[in-house]
Amino acid sequence: MLQKFFKILLLILLLQLPTRSNAQSLAAGDTSAEDMVISYNIEIKTGLNRTSIAETYNGGNKTVFISKNKTRIRLLSLMRIESLFFLPGADSTIHIYQEKESAAKANPRKVSLSNWQKLNLKYDSAYYKPVAGESKKILGYNCKKAIIYLKDGRTITVYYTEAIKPLRAICEPAFASLPGLALEYTYNYKSGSSTYTATSIKREMINPDIFLLKGKQPSHLRL
Amino acid sequence: MPDSQNDIFKRLSQHEEKPPEFLFEKILGEVRHGPKENGWHDLKEHSLIPPPELYKHIRQKWMQERSQKRSPVFFIRKYRAIAAILLAGMLSVAIYLLFPAKRTAEPLAEKKPVPAGQSINSVQKPDSATFNANTDSTAKQVNTKKRSTPALQSSGTQEIPFVNNDLLSSLMECTNCNFAAYFMEKKRIILDIDQYSAVTVSDKMRLFMKALYTTNRRGKSTHKSRKTKRILVRWQKADAAYFDNESSRTALDPLDLTEFLINNNKK
């Protein structure tokens, strides 16, 4: 009887072993898989009771697609669908394209490096300070709390994990100083705030169409 | 002999004799005072049975007359119906001409839905050689797995045309979609875009958009619905004016986006 019980227990343990090892490898920041998709949920708080334009972004989604040397950051909301493409050029430089997809005619425009730097000037010489003793688990990753200080006095509260490599500095200049990937960040402004929280991290092959400008768009939405 | 006979007849023809006086008075008295009661009484009890064909004949005649009388009545009714239809038609035309503003409510007419099956696929390669090579090499590794994140699962019960890849316009323009039921329910509304992403309609937005689909008894959009649509169009314009064709800010930057949303918090 006891032997039978141990046999069943062993069988259960054997069945669970692959999933456990998979989780461990993800947690340990396995970099063998080159493709990764990170989804963030966007929560906007205005501090007001009335409905405003903020609600058209509240519940939106920010998705980061990473495949080899290509990166795409897509903002998805009721109001706007927009993407930033960071694609390798022939001369081993990175080409940046901005595309507003929620339009009658999607028109990607190339963003020159100087313009990109100008756009992110506020993050120049930004630095972070870890908040000792404050951490939380997001999607199974231990995340440390830190505050990013911008030179103009604005701050971003961030939870980051060192288990996953951060994005290239050019893709997310706000978090360039962090030693890991930001899984949650909050920006407080006046009476409101915006919080981006990671809802999923997938290490899987990404459909190459994702990195195409004016790529395939669904003709129908599912509600 | 015949002459003598003729004479007799002649004399007879001219002969007259007065009745006796009492007889004259008797007859005069009867005329003045009417006949005796017994004579009327006999008349009262007198009855005549009509011949059996007479009844049938009268009935046939009556039916014939009746049918002849009914036909023009039917005719009038027919005209009345035609007149009613004409009147209703004229009334609707008058309403149509009198209230043109309600028909052309909102300026989003130029946006056309992407037909099902057709995709915007005119690929512009950012850097032709390298990018093309990279794409081709990974083309076989297309992932068609469905998303499994519980927070972003869709009910998948209704499909709506994706107008110009614009979610808000898609929800606003889909006139034949029964959204009212979705927005009335106290349930999270999740819009699935692809296998990677989905948008959740917040509770505040759900309640706000509920008004967009309200209709009156005639099935027409209400004043509140038109007002909601106007607000949404105004927001769209404000958003486009702030972010489009502007190189100093982008909606993808959390700081730019938050500051825009908090500063534009008017309804």
Question: Average pLDDT for residues B32-45, to the nearest whole number?
Answer: 67
**Is A218 among the domain residues?**
no
| Bigger pLDDT: B262 vs B1 | B262
**Is A219 among the domain residues?**
no
Backbone angles phi, psi at B31, to 5 degrees: -65, -45
CB A65 to CB B196 under 8 A? yes
* B124 chain-A contacts, CB cut-off 8 A: 108, 213-214
* A192 chain-B contacts, CB cut-off 8 A: 258, 261-262, 265
CB B193 to CB A73 under 8 A? no
pLDDT at A5: 55
**Is A186 among the domain residues?**
yes
CB atoms within 10 A of CB A171: 18
**Is A151 among the domain residues?**
yes
pLDDT in tens, B169-219: 888 877 666 666 677 776 778 888 888 888 888 888 888 888 888 888 887
pLDDT at B121: 31
The H or E element that residue A167 is part of is none
Q: Is A72 in contact with A96 (CB distance < 8 Å)? A: no
Q: Is A183 on the interface with B (CB under 8 A)?
A: no
CB B200 to CB A67 under 8 A? no
Q: Is A67 in contact with A34 (CB distance < 8 Å)? A: yes
**Is A39 among the domain residues?**
yes
- Comparing CB atoms, the residue among A78, A87, A219 nearest residue B205 is A78
pLDDT in tens, B52-104: 788 888 888 888 887 776 555 555 566 788 888 899 999 988 887 776 544 43
Kindly state the tokens that stand for B73: 């009545």
| Bigger pLDDT: A116 vs B129 | A116
Q: Is B162 in contact with B194 (CB distance < 8 Å)? A: no
Q: Name the pTM for this structure.
A: 0.62
pLDDT exceeds cutoff 50 at A83: yes
Interface test with A, best of B137, B197, B228, B232 (most A CBs within 10 A): B197
Side chain identity, residue A195:
T
Interface test with B, best of A56, A100, A105 (most B CBs within 10 A): A56
**Is A72 among the domain residues?**
yes
- Bridge partner list, A83: A74, A99
**Is A76 among the domain residues?**
yes
Total beta-carbon pairs less than 8 A apart between chain A and chain B? 269
Which residue shows structure tokens 């009038």? B76
Looking at chain B, which residue has its C-alpha nearest residue A108? B124
Indicate the average pLDDT of chain B. Answer: 71
CB B158 to CB A222 under 8 A? yes
Question: Average pLDDT for residues B228-253, to the nearest whole number?
Answer: 90
**Which chain A residues in 123-162 lie under 8 Å from chain B, judged by CB atoms?**
154, 156
pLDDT exceeds cutoff 70 at A34: yes
Question: Average pLDDT for residues A44-62, to the nearest whole number?
Answer: 92
pLDDT exceeds cutoff 50 at B138: no
The CATH number given to whatever domain includes residue A102 is 2.50.20
Give the separation between CA B157 and CA B165, rounded to whole angstroms: 20
pLDDT at A29: 40
**Is A124 among the domain residues?**
yes
Q: Is A185 on the interface with B (CB under 8 A)?
A: yes
- Comparing CB atoms, the residue among B122, B236, B262 nearest residue A189 is B262
pLDDT in tens, A98-157: 998 887 777 788 999 999 999 999 999 999 999 999 999 999 999 999 999 999 999 999
Kindly state the tokens that stand for B114: 């992407």
Q: How many domains does chain A have?
A: 1
Taking alpha carbons only, the member of A39, A65, A219, A57 closest to residue B152 is A39
Cβ partners under 8 Å of residue B247, min gap 6: A111, A115, A118, A119
CB B258 to CB A189 under 8 A? yes
Indicate the average pLDDT of chain A. Answer: 84
| Bigger pLDDT: B24 vs A149 | A149
Q: What length does chain B have?
A: 267
* A154 chain-B contacts, CB cut-off 8 A: 255
Q: Is A187 on the interface with B (CB under 8 A)?
A: yes
pLDDT exceeds cutoff 60 at A6: no
- Between β-strands A181-189 and A192-202, what pairing exists: parallel, antiparallel or unpaired? antiparallel
- Comparing CB atoms, the residue among A88, A90, A217 nearest residue B165 is A217
Full domain range(s) for residue A10: 2-211
Q: Is A101 on the interface with B (CB under 8 A)?
A: yes
pLDDT exceeds cutoff 60 at A39: yes
CB A223 to CB B170 under 8 A? no
